[in-house]
Amino acid sequence: MVLVKEVDIKGFRGIKTLAKPVKLRKFNVLIGRNNVGKSAILQALYLLSTQTQPYNADPISFLTKLIGSSKSLVYGYTGKAEISYVFEPRTAIENVVVHGKSVDRLSIDSSILTISSDGSVMRRYRVALGEVIEEVNSNEMVQILSKTATVYTPIHNLVERFLLGEKNALTLYIPNKDEAFLSLHDFVFSNAERIVKEGLNIRIITEHLNRVVYDKFTEVFPGPGNELYVRKEVESKVLYTRLKDFGEGVKRFTLIYLVTELLNPLMVLWDDVEVAMHPSLLDTALNWLARSDRQVVVSTHSIDVLNSVTLIEPRDAQIVMLWKDGNDIVYFRSLEIDEVEDLLDKHIDIRTLIEVINE
């Protein structure tokens, strides 16, 4: 499933502008030098959502806390940033009233998010009313949808998740920040009953972790001191060990898996996906993402990630190489998986290839 088929960014974070909109597929890997804009693209996609979970804050507030200032959301710390999203497929709605007029059918084509340096936000939606295109704001859209007789959502419940604020997430952003993982831990702990009821605390072990570690785990569960514990069997004994006392890779993947499966976002955005992961655990994580019915965008500096993707061969996948010029204009080129595989077979480091393309 593809939620966003195209994103355009102007004046957001370190991106002055994209040379052209980035076209997205179901599975996307962003590579490029430090500070080229990989995280900014992930964060821009995250802001499509208004969901407060799992960070107990709306995306704008969470990013502001993460980077330290609302001004840092805007390029040059002043003015406005604009992010445009084009949806795929369209969400069609029947029997609605728009600006006082009855409409047989409405399609949500795209949306535009404008962010001011004070952190204020304006959302607009481009809708097709038959052959007529109109623009409506957030309040108007909520009023339209609250009176809707029938909602058809080919992209699942986009309308309910995005515009009417239902519990399931539209997007989930996973930054490479310790404070974010503390929030994920607290979210998992506070939702432990739901996790156990759905069997996620056992599935993470049997379907993933036990295949890539030497330990024999059986389940994850909440324990004393607001801690998550892992039940581990050693010969004839059973040990109960805090999750945070395991390796960083095991801890991070466990939290990400549980949160993702619980919130069931339509899009997963994972920054520096390879951090703290042995290649076998990385393979497991990427394979899990690739086999899900979610749109995935990850960033990486790792050849291991590219190797894994060529072996897993996710459906509808691409590698997006990013670079920028001296004016902070970001360019990109998309590579097919078989192109990446050919380059790796020739022992060509794609990360340095970016610099050749840029010359």
Extents of the domains making up the chain: 4-177+266-358, 178-264
Radius of gyration of the chain (CA): 21
Inform me whether the pLDDT recorded for 332 exceeds 70.
Answer: yes
User: Of the candidates 355, 357, 352, 350, which has an alpha carbon nearest to the alpha carbon of residue 336?
Assistant: 350
What pLDDT does residue 206 have?
94
What type of residue sits at position 157? N
What pLDDT does residue 220 have?
94
Inform me whether the pLDDT recorded for 151 exceeds 60.
Answer: no
Share of the chain above pLDDT 90, in %: 67
Mean pLDDT of 33-49: 95
pLDDT tens-place string over residues 208-252 = 999 998 989 999 999 998 899 999 999 889 999 999 898 899 999
- CATH T-level assignment (fold) for domain 4-177+266-358: Rossmann fold (3.40.50)
Residue with the two structure tokens 């992010």 = 83
Question: Which contiguous run of DSSP H or E holds residue 39?
Answer: helix 38-46
CA–CA dist 302, 307 (Å, integer):
9
User: Of the candidates 186, 164, 178, which has an alpha carbon nearest to the alpha carbon of residue 108?
Assistant: 164
What pLDDT does residue 201 have?
95
User: Residue 87's beta-bridge partner residues?
Assistant: 4
CA–CA dist 267, 174 (Å, integer):
11
Output the DSSP codes for 247-291.
Answer: -HHHHHHHHHHHHHHHH--SEEEETTTTTT--HHHHHHHHHHHHH
pLDDT: is 158 or 134 the higher one? 134
What pLDDT does residue 130 have?
66
Q: What is the pTM assigned to this prediction? A: 0.91
Tokens of 214: 């030497």
What pLDDT does residue 155 have?
37
pLDDT averaged over the chain? 88
- The SS3 of residue 301 is coil
pLDDT tens-place string over residues 282-331 = 999 999 999 999 999 999 999 999 999 999 999 999 999 999 999 999 99
CA–CA dist 178, 180 (Å, integer):
5
Share of the chain above pLDDT 70, in %: 88
pLDDT tens-place string over residues 167-217 = 557 899 999 999 999 999 999 999 999 999 999 999 999 999 999 989 899
For residues 353 and 32, the answer to whether their CB atoms sit within 8 Å is no
For residues 36 and 322, the answer to whether their CB atoms sit within 8 Å is yes
What pLDDT does residue 142 have?
67
Inform me whether the pLDDT recorded for 147 exceeds 90.
Answer: no
Helices (H) and strands (E) in the chain, counts: 12, 17
Least reliable range by pLDDT among 35-44, 49-58, 103-112, 324-333? 103-112
For residues 86 and 15, the answer to whether their CB atoms sit within 8 Å is no
For residues 269 and 45, the answer to whether their CB atoms sit within 8 Å is yes
Tokens of 125: 């939606």
What pLDDT does residue 156 have?
36
Output the DSSP codes for 147-215.
Answer: T-SEEE-TTSSHIIIIIS--SS-SEEEE-S-HHHHHHHHHHHHHTHHHHHHTTHHHHHHHTTGGGTSSS
Going by the DSSP 8-state scheme, the letter that residue 224 receives in this structure is G
For residues 72 and 122, the answer to whether their CB atoms sit within 8 Å is no
Phi first, then psi, for residue 207 (nearest 5°) are -90, -15
For residues 299 and 30, the answer to whether their CB atoms sit within 8 Å is yes
Q: Which residues of 55-91 are buried (b: 16+ CB within 10 A; e: fewer)?
A: bebebbebbbebbeebeebbbeeeebbbbbbbbbebb
What pLDDT does residue 350 have?
84
Local confidence band at 95 (pLDDT 50, 70, 90 cut-offs):
confident
Which residues, 6 or more positions from 337, have their beta carbon under 8 angstroms from its beta carbon?
309, 310, 313, 314, 317, 318, 319
Local confidence band at 50 (pLDDT 50, 70, 90 cut-offs):
confident
Coarse DSSP helix, strand, coil percentages of the chain, rounded to the nearest 5 percent: 35, 35, 30
pLDDT: is 148 or 118 the higher one? 118
What pLDDT does residue 140 have?
75
CA–CA dist 324, 322 (Å, integer):
7
Local confidence band at 152 (pLDDT 50, 70, 90 cut-offs):
very low
What pLDDT does residue 127 have?
78
